[in-house]
Amino acid sequence: MSDQPILTLDHVSKRFGPITVVDDVTVNIHRGKIQVLLGENGAGKSTLINMAAGVHEPSSGQIIVDGHPTRIPDTKASEALGIATIHQELQLVSSLSVAENIMMGRLPQRFGLVDKGEMYRLATEALTTVGLHVDPRMPAGALGIARQQLVEIAKALSLKARLLILDEPTASLTKHEIEHLFGIISQLRSEGVGMVFISHHLEEIAAIGDSVTVIRDGKFVAEVPATTPEPELVRLMVGRSIDEQFPRRATPPQEPLLSVKGLTRKGSFTDVSFEVRAGEVLGIAGLVGAGRTEVVRAIAGADPYDTGTVIVLGKPLPKGRIAAAIAAGVGLVPEDRKAFGLVLGASVEDNLGYATLMSSARYGLVDRRGQAKRASAVAERLAVRMRGLGQQVGALSGGNQQKVVLGRWISAGSRVLILDEPTRGVDVGAKVEIYQLMNEITAAGGAVVMVSSELPEVLGMSDRILVMSDGRVAGVLAAADADQHTVMSLAVKEVESDRV
């Protein structure tokens, strides 16, 4: 085995406008080795691998393939170099057959027609390499996530990939499926395929990785062996003192504002019960796919549920009725603000006013003066940085966009705020402002339920932490008793479930 890396990202940086997402990072990937990329959400991992995948070109630094500086301007070029990327969101066309997906863009032809026999033969061959025995004629969408992932890997291997980039491949898999995937990965490693592996699950690093590159805020922090103890990895990844970053001011909890009893939706979450009091921040932690988002959306009336009750200030809420939940004082700041939170083409004022648009109307007429007054008051209070209330919300920065979504509920007078990943894609300054706002809400007698995948944030801002695992409540911890370890061990706790 030669010592020359297959691929080197050599002092690469990536800037989007004024924001530097990746800052002078170097990563080497060798044959038959698994290089783990570790970092918090937003640390720049995805941007980094996207440079190898041909999605972004580095703003500075170079990419070296087999010792030669190389440009990878697009995904085709990346593919031609033998680099295959399995993105977090799978890229299969669900209505096409497994075989067509594997052979896409290079269907075997005879007399100008697709040679189906040959296509199925090649596809079956590819599927065998990943130990997947499914009918290549079936539509890819009929397979579960784990098998779809394997189909993508099979496709990559049939393209003669010698470098495989796996972006959080285990995020939506069950324990059993992960074991199977790791079996395949180990086998590929022994065959000399180099791999980049991204995961938030620290225990997976020791299980599968060879070496770990830690990045934080877009900067290279360290490269350590995969056998490095977990606490040390966490320290490298988080890096700073949690206390300074999270200005939580505890408020003595008062009467219960929100109680959830036995909330269940088959296949998503089971028997979820908890209570949040006025003045309290309840953090909800758990792995991706643990059902956190599903639960909070059901509470806010955005999605239906099968059984259970949601009670706000002593009154049960009707199932699946957003307007009723809003009237009762519940406000949901959804996970993906661009997809679910904002009308990007509309003005800041309009976006701030949607929750009160219908309820403040008299005889069906817009309360124009009231809407304008509320919007300017809340924009000032949250210090939304904008050219004016008439500016398109899509032109604001991520942090200011998030403030607008939050502001909508402040303006509606919501007392129970449900924040799903409130600081994702938000810069550090705006993050602290959002935390301050959470303090103000609880100080004023409101309650906050915060779903977050950033453990330091959950630990730093919550009064109590509810940990979900596999659709169930794995445990509730008081902030004083919680640390990374106790939360993570609950999050990965095996819970018997009826999920397939």
- Asked if 54 is part of the footprint of another protein (rule: CB under 8 A), the reply reads no
Q: Min. distance of Cβ 359 from another protein in angstroms?
A: 7
CA distance 45 to 38: 8
Q: Which is nearer to another protein, 279 or 331 (CB)?
A: 331
| Residue 82 near residue 162, CB atoms below 8 Å | yes
Binding test (CB under 8 A) with another protein, winner from 288, 344, 389, 432? 344
372 binds another protein (CB under 8 A): no
With the C-alpha atoms ordered 297, 301, 306, 308, is the resulting torsion angle positive or negative? positive
**Among 424, 428, 148, 459, which residue's Cα sits nearest to residue 293?**
424
Cα 107 from chain centroid (whole Å): 34
Question: What is the dihedral sign for C-alpha 87, 78, 12, 28?
Answer: positive
CB of 323 to another protein, least distance (A): 5
Residues 307-326 that bind another protein (CB under 8 A): 322-323, 326
User: Residue 209 carries which side chain, given as an amino acid letter?
Assistant: G
Which residue, 170, 132, 172, 169, is CA-closest to 154? 132
User: Under DSSP, is residue 190 helix (H, G, I), strand (E, B) or coil?
Assistant: helix
Size, binding site for another protein by CB under 8 A: 28
Q: Please, what is the minimum distance in Å from the beta carbon of residue 299 to another protein?
A: 13
**What is the smallest separation between the CB atom of 180 and another protein, expressed in angstroms?**
35
Which of 408/472 has CB closer to another protein?
A: 408
Q: Is 334 in the site for another protein (CB under 8 A)?
A: yes
Residue 354 binds to another protein (criterion: CB under 8 A): yes
Stretch that binds another protein, among 5-13, 110-118, 244-252, 348-356 (CB under 8 A): 348-356
| Residues 400-429, interacting with another protein (CB under 8 A) | 408
| Helical spans, DSSP H, in 256-333 | 292-299, 322-327
Judged by beta carbon, residue 374 or residue 408, the one nearer another protein is: 408
- Residue 358 interacts with another protein (CB under 8 A)? yes
Among 119, 233, 302, 438, binds another protein (CB under 8 A): 302
Encoded amino acid at 374, one letter: R
Kindly tell me which residue out of 113, 339, 480, 500 binds another protein, with binding defined by CB under 8 A.
339
Query: Residue 128: left (phi > 0), alpha (psi -120 to 50), or beta?
Result: alpha
Taking each helix axis from N to C terminus, what angle separates 348-357 and 368-381, rounded to the nearest 10 degrees?
120
43 binds another protein (CB under 8 A): no
Q: Which of 104, 138, 250, 357 binds another protein (CB under 8 A)?
A: 357
Is 346 a binding residue for another protein by CB under 8 A? The answer is yes
Query: Quick one: which segment of 26-34, 43-51, 58-66, 350-358 binds another protein (CB under 8 A)?
Result: 350-358
Cβ closer to another protein: 397 or 414? 414
Least separation in angstroms between CB 134 and another protein: 31
**Site membership for another protein, residue 332 (CB under 8 A):** yes
The candidate with the shortest Cα–Cα distance to 153, out of 224, 220, 86, 103, is: 86
Which of the residues 231 through 250 are near another protein (CB under 8 A)? none
**Which of 172, 347 has the CB closer to another protein?**
347
Beta sheet of 83-86, edge-to-edge order: 68-70, 60-65, 7-16, 19-29, 219-225, 211-216, 34-38, 194-198, 163-167, 83-86
**Nearest CB to another protein, comparing residues 44 and 301:** 301
155 contacts 87 by C-beta, under 8 angstroms? no
Whether 278 and 289 have beta carbons less than 8 Å apart is answered as no
Q: What are the residues binding another protein (CB under 8 A)?
A: 300, 302, 322-323, 326, 332, 334, 339-346, 350, 354-355, 357-361, 364-366, 368, 408
